[in-house]
């Protein structure tokens, strides 16, 4: 399926959604694969196209804060007043790269919630996403538009390469400027919990909400038990080529005659001569690193390399999300 220039293609995209089809669209984080969140058959097509386990719930995208009431039932929260207040405060961060987990409204298809009773909701900041969501007028369930477990797409060509003919239409909005998936924040507990770090940092959330923010706790998901958030699955976001983090290398001697691709956050000397080199920022600026990380991983994962070696940073602020994705990519 060819990608189309957005504005002229919005009416066609809306028609596809109304008829239970799939539309890939740009957001500021990554491209999403969208379907009407109230249409179970349409949502099942998303899982089929991605090869996604039915146990992994989807994020619901809306155009405005007033639409939350049609996706979530705050009244079923552990404390409706507290959760309502927190949601109002968080609205300052929307539109933006933040998804909030709440009790689900019954009109949202069971498949979206993966059989559970909660839903993640987000208002994306990309103008094309907002135009689509406004024109459609309803909630759009959309995971990242990639085959399950592969690196998320940050351009329309990434979507075409990965999902091709299974998508009704791809809206091309250019490269995504944030480049990492949204922060997933659960409001289901007394202490709000980040289930997946993203560009909205824990410090920012703490400031906006005026309370402590808990982090992902893999210990909550003993093997066999349902995961708190399936995005916490250890191996995820992975290229086919093995990924090793730079500090884990014990020097050039550990790399005999391998074809190595290297991803550096800023220019510096390496203890080996890489076959291919991607330098993501002249100054190590983490926003630039995040924006280009997935495209770099995909480019080096073209089958001709034995190993991808990736730079690392302090896992704080935006660095928490960057290191989260790289650690998952490097798990075998
Ligand atoms: O930036 C993003 O979030 C992108 C764009 C398209 O919006 N979407 C995205 O979707 O990354 P996906 O499906 O690739 O990741 C959604 C994450 C998964 O880790 C999933 O387990 C978690 O959100 N999630 C969704 N609904 C949830 C729920 N009800 N409770 C807990 N976690 C949930
Ligand atoms: Mg994904």
DSSP letters, 12-75, are HHHHHHHTT--EEE--SSS-EEEEETT-HHHHHHHHHHHT--TTS--EEE-SSGGGGGGTB-GG
Whether 22 lines ligand 1, by a CB cut-off of 6 Å, is no
Contact 264, 278 (CB under 8 A): yes
Point out the ligand nearest to the CA of residue 143. 1
The fraction of the chain above a pLDDT of 70, given in percent, is 90
User: pLDDT, tens digit, for every residue of 299-323?
Assistant: 999 879 999 999 999 999 999 999 9
Cα of 235 from ligand 2 centre, angstroms: 12
Work out the average pLDDT over 160-187: 96
- pLDDT at position 188 is 97
Cα of 215 from ligand 2 centre, angstroms: 19
Q: Does residue 2 carry a pLDDT above 50?
A: yes
Q: Does residue 253 carry a pLDDT above 80?
A: no
Give me the helices (H) in the chain, please: 6-18, 40-50, 80-90, 127-136, 156-163, 202-209, 286-300, 318-330
Point out the ligand nearest to the CA of residue 229. 1
Q: Which of 49-58, 226-235, 269-278 has the lowest mean pLDDT?
A: 226-235
Q: From atom 6 of ligand 1, which residue's Cα is the shortest distance away?
A: 32
Question: Which of 275, 270, 328, 331 has its CA nearest to residue 302?
Answer: 275
Q: Does residue 1 carry a pLDDT above 70?
A: no
Cα distances (angstroms) measured from residue 291 to each of 33, 298, 299: 19, 13, 14
Q: From atom 29 of ligand 1, which residue's Cα is the shortest distance away?
A: 119
- pLDDT at position 218 is 57
3-state secondary structure of 224: coil
Q: Does residue 61 carry a pLDDT above 70?
A: yes
Contact 109, 43 (CB under 8 A): yes
Domains in the chain: ranges and CATH: 9-220 (3.90.870.10), 243-329 (3.40.50.11030)
The alpha-carbon radius of gyration of the chain (Å, integer) is 20
- pLDDT at position 226 is 39
- pLDDT at position 332 is 74
- pLDDT at position 331 is 86
- pLDDT at position 225 is 35
Whether 154 lines ligand 1, by a CB cut-off of 6 Å, is no
Q: Does residue 230 carry a pLDDT above 60?
A: no
User: pLDDT, tens digit, for every residue of 94-106?
Assistant: 999 999 999 999 9
> Whole-prediction pTM value?
0.94
- Binned at pLDDT 50, 70 and 90, residue 224 comes out as very low
Whether 26 lines ligand 1, by a CB cut-off of 6 Å, is no
Cα of 302 from ligand 2 centre, angstroms: 20
Contact 149, 240 (CB under 8 A): no
Work out the average pLDDT over 240-250: 86
Q: Does residue 262 carry a pLDDT above 50?
A: yes
Q: From atom 10 of ligand 1, which residue's Cα is the shortest distance away?
A: 143
Whether 101 lines ligand 1, by a CB cut-off of 6 Å, is yes
Q: From atom 24 of ligand 1, which residue's Cα is the shortest distance away?
A: 57
């Amino acid at each position: 399926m060819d990608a189309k220039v957005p504005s002229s293609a919005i009416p066609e995209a809306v028609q596809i959604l109304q008829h239970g089809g799939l539309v890939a669209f740009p957001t500021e984080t990554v491209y999403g694969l969208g379907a009407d969140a109230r249409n179970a058959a349409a949502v099942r097509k998303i899982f089929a196209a991605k090869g996604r386990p039915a146990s992994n719930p989807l994020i619901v995208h809306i155009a405005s804060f007033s639409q939350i009431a049609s996706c979530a039932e705050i009244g079923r929260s552990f404390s409706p007043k507290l959760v309502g207040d927190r949601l109002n405060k968080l609205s300052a961060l929307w539109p933006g790269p933040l998804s909030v987990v709440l009790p689900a409204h019954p009109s949202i298809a069971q498949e979206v919630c993966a059989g559970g009773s909660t839903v993640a909701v987000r208002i994306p900041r990309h103008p094309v996403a907002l135009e689509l969501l406004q024109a459609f007028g309803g909630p759009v369930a959309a995971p990242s538009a990639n085959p399950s477990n592969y690196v998320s797409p940050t351009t329309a060509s990434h979507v075409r390469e990965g999902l091709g003919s299974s998508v009704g239409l791809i809206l091309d909005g250019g490269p995504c400027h944030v480049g990492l998936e949204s922060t997933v924040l659960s409001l289901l507990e007394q202490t709000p919990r980040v289930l997946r770090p993203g560009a909205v940092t824990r410090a920012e959330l703490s400031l906006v909400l005026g309370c402590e923010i808990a982090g992902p706790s893999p210990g909550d998901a003993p093997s066999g038990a349902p995961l708190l958030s399936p995005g916490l699955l250890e191996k995820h976001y992975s290229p086919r080529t093995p990924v090793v983090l730079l500090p884990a290398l014990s020097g050039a001697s550990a790399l005999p005659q391998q074809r190595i691709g290297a991803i550096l956050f800023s220019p510096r000397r390496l203890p080996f001569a890489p076959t291919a080199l991607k330098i993501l920022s002249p100054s190590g600026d983490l926003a630039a690193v995040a924006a280009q990380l997935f495209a770099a991983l995909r480019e080096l994962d073209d089958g001709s390399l034995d190993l991808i070696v990736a730079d690392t940073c302090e896992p704080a602020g935006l660095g928490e999300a960057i290191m989260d994705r790289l650690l998952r990519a490097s798990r075998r």
